[in-house]
Amino acid sequence: MEIRGPLVLPGRREDIELETLDGLTLVGELALPLEAEPAATLVTLHPLPTAGGFMDSHILRKAAARLPALADLAVLRFNTRGTTSPRGTSEGAFDGGRAEAFDLAAAMDFVRERGLPRPWLLGWSFGTEIAIKFGRDHSVEGIILLSPPLHRATPEEVAAWAGDPRRVIALVPEFDDYLRPEEAAERFSHIPHAVLISVEGGKHLWVGESQTRRVLTEIVAAVNPDALPLPDEWHGLTRA
């Protein structure tokens, strides 16, 4: 069958809870390959919750549904403080990208405790701000930024990655609502090793299967390129 839309490929999926240093419980899910050990781990950071972002925002949901099977990746998703999804509601209240530092720290504690390999931060929109602002404090191989608006991350916080050898990869849609490729090139110019990928025809929300496949391909190209090319069809069981 064609791999598209809500199709869920085989994997081991577990509802989890994260405990923050300031005493909150966050809800989430860990998706693992069905049989193989994961080659790497995606710690996902969702779009702005006050604008409808949550752990099930479609690119993150599809990454968890597909990439454990297609690319042997572990995918950790969770609702930041005060955010609700079908999985449940995380305790606390949205703090505009400040106390969310504790949420990321709780996720990275979980990664370490479970021994999940080669963690990367995968942020989308608001989630990119969290990755930029606080990602350098954690043991990650790099950050992947989908539609970075650079509203909350200051120029100083962006430039701080210039002195950090870890990889910085940004996917910038041609028709983004907040930051388009030309401006993104200027804003990220202080990070010599940053890789900016301009996505022709792309929009902030990455709507449509072609954009989903482009985003997932670029993620896998960064994290586990041996798994490329990603197939368009699945020959086997689903929803394991």
pLDDT (0 to 100) of residue 49? 98
| Class of residue 23 by CB neighbours under 10 A (exposed 0-12, middle 13-18, buried 19+) | exposed
Looking at residue 92, its pLDDT comes to: 98
Radius of gyration of the chain (CA): 17
Helix (H) or strand (E) holding 196: strand 195-199
| Mean of per-residue pLDDT scores for the chain | 97
Burial class (CB in 10 A: 0-12, 13-18, 19+), 163: exposed
DSSP H or E run through 30? strand 25-32
Output the pLDDT for position 101. 98
pLDDT of 236 reads 82
Domains of the chain plus CATH, in order, are: 12-158+204-224 (3.40.50.1820)
**Residue 238 pLDDT:** 80
Tell me the pLDDT tens digit for each residue of 98-143.
Answer: 999 999 999 999 999 999 999 999 999 999 999 999 999 999 999 9
Is residue 229's pLDDT more than 90? yes
Say whether pLDDT at 239 is over 80.
Answer: no
For the question of whether the overall pTM of this predicted structure is more than 0.85, the answer is yes
Q: What is the per-residue pLDDT for 169?
A: 98
List pLDDT tens digits, range 17-33.
999 999 999 999 999 99
pLDDT-derived band at 196, boundaries 50, 70, 90: very high
Region 36-40: what's the mean pLDDT?
97
Q: What percent of the chain shows pLDDT beyond 70?
A: 99
CB 111 within 8 A of CB 121: no
**Which residue bears the tokens 């916080």?**
157
Residue 240 has pLDDT above 70, yes or no: no
pLDDT at residue 54 above 70?
yes
H or E stretch covering 216? helix 209-223
